[in-house]
Copies of this chain bind each other. A is one copy, B any other.
Amino acid sequence: MTQCDLNIGSRRMALLCDGHLDADFGKTATGLLIWCPEEVVAVIDVEHAGKTVDAVFGFGRDIPIVATVAEAFKLGARELVVGVATIGGVLVPAYRAKIAEAVRLGCDVISGLHEMLADDPELSSLAAEHHVAIRDVRRVPSTPVGMNRARTIANRRVLTVGTDCATGKMCTALALTREFTSRERDAKFVATGQTGIMIEGDGLAIDRAVCDFASGIAEKLVLDNADRDWLFIEGQGSIDSACYSGVTLSLLHGTAPQALVLCHVGDHHARSHDDGAPLLPVAENIRLYETISTPVLPAKVVGLSLMTNGLNASSAREAITRLEAEHGLPATDPLRFGVANLTDALIEFFEEER
């Protein structure tokens, strides 16, 4: 199932992040820097220009940060990626001229915004003139309304869910996919958001679907991957978020997972993209997700993922141990400590299921 021809593995990407590299918004760039740094030639951000990504963030190797599109092109960039995920998915106005410049230099453009760049008359005619492609990875195909068919598929489906937005749902699903693959299991990362799609090269951005058809998009992701043994499905939003809970529930009911991994951020106490409502406790989240899954297919939270940014290694390990004891579930920070324990727990869970 390839929705977009992204030349996975042979890209030479420049990530356009001007002014947003250190904000929440930089999720797209961060995801690509963590999961496919070998395909990133440069990051474009005037504020940090001259440094390496690693020097600024502690990951992303020695990828250079440059100030202009022209510099990135000189370093070999052939795809310009819009590296920020704005609320509402609108184009940062100042980016328009930079995208046009990249097109004139012969770069393809990859965007995950709601605002479809290929539908922009100016950019699309410029792209045609310069024989380059504009790939809006968030564009979704027409599907029928979901018909509750995912639960009839016999493979193993693990959905990452969150206590909030930006809690590591994509990273956890990617880490699990790689760990299962390294253990010679047939595992597939099912991308449901723009960054995941850019990393995996396929998937569908469920939040872009017309609401009535969101369950159909989720169902399609499962039906199209029915021949894969293990699906690790990238979760979206959170069930208690007034902003995005509809996306979350469409994905949960539409993909009908048997197992969930709940993702949490250690120092996170108020919901993002909100007026600051307090986060529900982890235990309450577990109860809500399990309860609301039951009408379609009862799902169980089998493990926990904890982002421990800002803690030193020993404090991070302590926080994880505390979380495990509190909930009687294995926990980890996937990026720091791997997901071996979650993998063991998931294999055991599905063996008991059969």
Contacts and interface: CB of A to CB of B under 8 A. Distances in A.
A240 interface: yes
Interface residues of A, number: 51
A275 to B, nearest CB: 5
B247 A246 contact: yes
22 contacts: A146-B242, A146-B243, A148-B242, A148-B243, A148-B274, A151-B242, A152-B275, A207-B210, A209-B210, A211-B250, A214-B246, A215-B242, A240-B296, A241-B253, A242-B256, A242-B295, A246-B246, A246-B249, A246-B251, A246-B253, A248-B249, A291-B291
A186 interface: no
A240 B241 CA distance: 18
Most B CB contacts (10 A, CB to CB) among A144, A146, A275, A295 go to: A295
Contacts of A207: 210-212
A250 B244 CA distance: 7
Interface in A233-286: 239-251, 253-254, 256, 271, 273-275, 277, 280
A83 to B, nearest CB: 19
B246 A211 contact: yes
A145 interface: yes
A254 B244 CA distance: 9
A253 B245 contact: yes
A208 interface: yes
B214 A242 contact: no
A298 B21 CA distance: 38
A114 interface: yes
Given A211-B208, A273-B147, A253 B247 contact: no
A245 B240 contact: no
